Chains A and B, each alone.
Chain A
Amino acid sequence: TSETQTQPKSTDTPKTEPADAKSREIRTLQILSRPQASAPDEYERANLIAGAMKELGINAEIKAMPYEQQSDIVWYKRDEWDMTGWQMAARPERLDPDEFVYNLFHSSTAKDGYNFIGYNNPEYDKIAEQQRITVDREERKNLIFKAQELIASDVAYLFNVHPKLKYVYNHQVFDPNSVVEMAGMGIRNIWTYLNAAPIGQQKNMVLNSNDSVQALNPFYISGSFDSWVTELIWDRLMRIDKDGLPKPWAAESVTWKTDTQIEIKLRANMKWHDGKPVTAEDVKFSYEAPLTGEVPMYKPFVEIIDKIDIKDPLTLEFTLKRPWAAFETASLSKLNLVPKHIWGPIIEDLKNKPENAESYQEKTPIGSGPFKYENWKFKEEVVLSANTEHFSPPKIEKWIMREIPNTEASLGMIENGEINFLAVFPGDGQLLQQKVEASPNLTMVTTTDLGFQFFAMNHRRPPFNDVAFRRALAAAVDRDMMAQVVYKGFAEPGDSVISPALPIWKNPSLPYPSGGVEEAKKILQEAGYEWDAAGKLLYPAGKKEELGK
């Protein structure tokens, strides 16, 4: 536990304290956070929030614990925690607002789904449901805007920041014009990999990861670094384009016949890396395999599909059980196309075994993607080579991802050229900027993250079940200061689940409270909160602490 230094200001609190002060005292609130060692920014933000709370006369205590313990409490002991640090990471499919808007706050997911905070607002539920089936973009946008408004005024989350993604590449190796920036995702994306043009001797792209590749498996959603690789080896029917919207990829065209019927035309002459042609059968197999139960992680993305018909060798028709606005993003851009001749027998075989497709590792993974698997040295590197026969062949020769858990080392290596693309840098942005500025070879590109950092409050527990309390807290927490101090400016203050990086979905004017401690106190006072002689915050009259010791 840790305490902040700021003392409660007692100047403007009433000198006389209510008679029933004792019973109205708010218990010491616990803020869960990962330890400073593994998540320094979260820990520091927890400190700042605890400081703000102290200024309001609320006792808060930070409990640092490893992520596993934290998630165990947050997910499985849903009414045992007060506040916790949390984050939503950027993933391409999250470019569609559905997951954030629906899963995080819909009351149906409060019991054992993503809505672990227990947010429950029937009005919001309706909007969230509505946007799912509204295929018209403009109409849907209004709904999303409305949803964000509700989240902001209810202060469902204590928003902190959208960090800035910091990527560095060596402009002596790659033509700066060929590096592609993607909204909310930065320059580390498949379009850069495909487009980056080597201008010197070095034809390979060497980038870093800071954790192990766990598996290279088209049917297993494992670590994020795995997905960097899998999306290159395996094609998908659609891919999220740099503007954040899905566009046909392996499919030549995707045509919505009705709200529930989609016709897909495959590109001609596509080949698997082993030389066999990509057929409609393969596509159908790829979408049906998850339904066998042997590919559990992909099942949620195909359950909506009623049936798939092969019209001709290059044409398929998908029929959905009901309309789903995010289908292109969450399903067509998500599922890997897998060769049936390889995986068919494997899946059949697995049906009689306790294991499923997730534990199957091909010796040489075969996809149809723009890069071919070449080598994987466990805990060292993954090497892919350009698939020159691909319909969108990369310009680089090899794509090599080196595992470098040591941040210092990764910095050193981008400086001395051991790597030429800094794909992950959890360290100090300011330092990185200095280094890049001092180097004649490096270019840094920062992008506001699609994901965001926040503190979750447990709406099931007082005092967080009171909107006024949440609003006061939100007002008291200085998000600008967070961005400046904790992120050294490499973050944008957040007020919504939608990142400012996605102007199409982001509601620019949200009623999220601000104004600092003064404003917070006003909110509290209006809601009936009082302070005792020592400056401690008390519940409004008639309410007492039920969870205290």
Chain B
Amino acid sequence: MAENPIIEVRGLSKHFEARQHLFRKSSTGAGVLKAVDDVSFRIPKGHSLGIAGESGCGKTTTAKMLLKLYEPTSGSFLFNGKDITHLRAKEELKQFRKQAQLMFQNPFEALNPRFTIFRSLLEPLIVHDIGTKEERAAFIKQALEQVNLIPAENFFEKYPHQMSGGQLQRVVLARALIVDPIFLVADEPVSMLDVSVRAGVLNLMKTLTERLQLTTVYISHDLSLISYMCEQTAIMYLGKVVEIGDTMSVLQKPKHPYTQALLAAVPSPDPDEEPEEVLIKNHVPSPINMPNGCHFQDRCPYTEAICREKTPELRQAETGQIVACHMVTPFFDRKAEREEHVI
């Protein structure tokens, strides 16, 4: 691919120590929880990547590492070609913070309940020393108008609890955009919103990110939303990326049995459509102390001996996307190297 990626992630992992009860034998036991395990991808400038997967598969953890809220256990993270995995220097970190922003799942939580909207939007300006007093007011006004909160002045002195979820989510977006980021991560940005307003926020995000040429990572368990928002899609399962590629290929011609199941499980708003059979067994196993081999082995309808022995490598499928499954015939034999997981 011609364009240099803004985001490049190589073998990123995050492990947690599991907790347990003092007296009772817990169902999980002690051990290491591999929330994210060896994840790699690249996102070129202006592109958007959707990450989907079941609850607890490590989506949020990945997002947090992308925003340097978590220090990865291993692997590296390149931003604009620069390795910033272990970036500590204050100024540089601040610079990064200005360029990478997050949009939160729960807008009711994302704003300080004791701050007015104006105050919340002012905070990043103060932190980054942007503008004079008058200019700042203008910036905030602009930012609110940009997210369709018009007339902006009406919202200045409001507190979060005085606003609706849809409005708040827009404020959250405005706050993310007010520092002119080049990279935006949206972690389930609309899952807390009502259906009727959800579309509004999504459309707004879509147009703004396109107009501002933002590189985005969009996290959701809702594949239909991802298909609506993103060019590329990564499917995660228990800390690992199992399938990644163009949204079209991944969602229309899924190769990994997990992706297939996931797609089959999405209910259709069309009452006449026959629901598909979801070929998946059991529950998500405990992410603590995973067995050898493929993480999906216990639920997969196609499991064979090799799945229990060897962790499948990511390989390119004939449809273009990259898949981690022993059962998918590789498009060409060469093992897809991490650096090559370009999308």
Direct contact of A and B (CB under 8 A): no
Residues of B at the A interface (CB closer than 8 Å) are none
Residues of A at the B interface (CB closer than 8 Å) are none
